[in-house]
Amino acid sequence: MKNINNELALLGFSFFEKIGPVKLKLLDNYFSNFAEAFLANALDLEKSGLKQKLISDFIIWREKFDFEKIINELKGEDIKYIIYEDPNYPKLLKEITNPPYLLYYKGNITCFNDLKKNRLAIVGARKHSFYAEKIINEFVPELISNNIEIISGLALGIDTLAHQKTLDYQGITIAVLGTGLDCQSIYPSSNRQLVKNIIKKGGLIISEFPPKTQALKQNFPQRNRIISGLCQATLVIEAQNKSGSLITAHYALDQNREVLAIPGNIFSGYSSGTNNLIKSGAKTITKPEDIFEVFKIENQKKLSLNKRKMAEPNLISETEKIIYRILKSASEKAESLTSDEIIKISKLDTSVINSTLSILELRGIAKSNEIGYYIN
């Protein structure tokens, strides 16, 4: 342990959860380097500003810490790490208050500092309306065609939709996790394949938390400062008044970054947070061109109509055709319909409607959420 360098010292500190970015800053201000801080005695650690109980816990933990074991575990999971001083460390992140001194990553780290790239964070609710999904479907392809990279947090809902739609259009996306990057810690577990696809297609997954860090509630607000810190702007699509997405937006404001918000139905709880953001001064976004304006993109590339137009599905029965037309009309207005609303509009029998909706879902023509049915 006597021969460790700065990089190894920061790796070690990252595994001791009681010393985070704020306390590392104290050590950075007092010691000439982190290797010296990691090996320091109790008296010097106290002079740096750490409390005696923390120092005692650290020294006991330090005696048992095995660098070789940790490095082998990282190699086994193909997890790499980068420290603040590394030239590939994201330049935008260096501008925020208390940036992580060390980041773990999988994927293409060099994509961080391509200065020609604009980066937009897209965040929103885990539970969302079809309105939000339609916005993702309409906006993201246009953003990708104009070389905007998408950053989000891999959460269910808006985050997952943003990552997946970016990949669908061959764009680059970066996922910032609030867990470790080892396979067993990735949260939600249902997105493990999405993580593989992000890496495979030239993107990146990152975290300041070491492997085996589970999905602890307190980690996600801390993670959110990195999401906003990596971008020039943050777009909030749907959020309730007590939403983690609003934490990301507030971090963006503190970091002197642009905060953008999609207005929503004033009677919908899904949009209460975004509507309040707009009232507080966030830029109102109603079309992709509004985002291009933020990034000062003048020669905008438009997707061809052929690329955006979806083929009509193969509808077998007359009932399928009726329900499809009803859902399509609603979807064009970014609305979903309950089965009762479809019954009322179509004037068809309840059992026929419900069985036909089940068939359309099985065939992937219709989708449903807690609000109702819709088509893409």
Determine how many CB atoms are found less than 10 A away from the CB of residue 169: 15
pLDDT digits 0-9 by tens, 204-240: 999 999 999 999 989 999 999 999 999 999 999 988 8
Residue 64 pLDDT > 60, yes or no?
yes
Residue 24 pLDDT > 90, yes or no?
yes
Q: Which residues of 56-80 are buried (b: 16+ CB within 10 A; e: fewer)?
A: eebeeeeeebeeeebeeebeebebe
| Average pLDDT of the residues of the chain | 89
Determine how many CB atoms are found less than 10 A away from the CB of residue 206: 26
Residue 191 pLDDT > 60, yes or no?
yes
In degrees rounded to 5, what are phi and psi of residue 226? -75, -40
pLDDT, position 115: 56
Determine how many CB atoms are found less than 10 A away from the CB of residue 113: 13
pLDDT digits 0-9 by tens, 337-372: 888 888 888 888 888 888 888 888 888 888 887 778
Determine how many CB atoms are found less than 10 A away from the CB of residue 248: 29
Mean pLDDT of 16-28: 94
pLDDT, position 128: 83
Judge residue 181's burial from the number of C-beta atoms within 10 Å of its C-beta, 0-12 exposed, 13-18 middle, 19 or more buried: buried
pLDDT, position 140: 95
Residues whose CB is less than 8 angstroms from the CB of residue 310 and which lie 6 or more positions away in sequence, other chains included: 376
Residue 255 pLDDT > 90, yes or no?
yes
pLDDT digits 0-9 by tens, 127-178: 888 888 889 999 999 999 999 999 999 999 999 999 999 999 999 999 999 9
Percent of the chain with pLDDT over 90: 64
Sheet containing strand 80-83, edge to edge, reads: 80-83, 102-107, 204-207, 173-176, 148-152, 118-123, 233-236, 258-261, 283-284
Do 128 and 265 form a contact (C-beta atoms < 8 A)?
no
152, two tokens: 């989000």
Which of 29, 28, 52, 37 shows the shortest CA–CA distance to 5?
A: 37
Map out the domains of the chain with their CATH numbers.
6-76 (no CATH), 117-306 (3.40.50.450), 310-374 (1.10.10.10)
Residues whose CB is less than 8 angstroms from the CB of residue 366 and which lie 6 or more positions away in sequence, other chains included: 323, 324, 327, 357, 360, 373, 374, 375
How many Å apart are CA 245 and CA 251, to the nearest integer? 10
pLDDT digits 0-9 by tens, 74-89: 999 999 999 999 988 9
Which of 127, 374, 121, 154 shows the shortest CA–CA distance to 269?
A: 127
Residue 274 pLDDT > 60, yes or no?
yes
pLDDT, position 307: 46
Q: What is the model's pTM?
A: 0.84
Residues whose CB is less than 8 angstroms from the CB of residue 151 and which lie 6 or more positions away in sequence, other chains included: 119, 120, 121, 122, 173, 174, 175, 176, 227, 230, 231
Which of 328, 295, 10, 288 shows the shortest CA–CA distance to 138?
A: 288
Q: Measuring CA to CA, how many Å separate 171 from each of 91, 113, 150?
A: 21, 16, 8
Mean pLDDT of 244-252: 90
- Bridge partners of 284, per DSSP, are 261
Residue 305 pLDDT > 50, yes or no?
no
Residue 2 pLDDT > 80, yes or no?
no
Helix and strand numbers (H, E) in the chain are 17, 11
In degrees rounded to 5, what are phi and psi of residue 60? -65, -45
pLDDT, position 326: 86
Q: Locate tokens 């929503």: which residue?
A: 264
pLDDT digits 0-9 by tens, 99-126: 999 999 999 888 776 656 899 999 998 8
pLDDT, position 308: 46
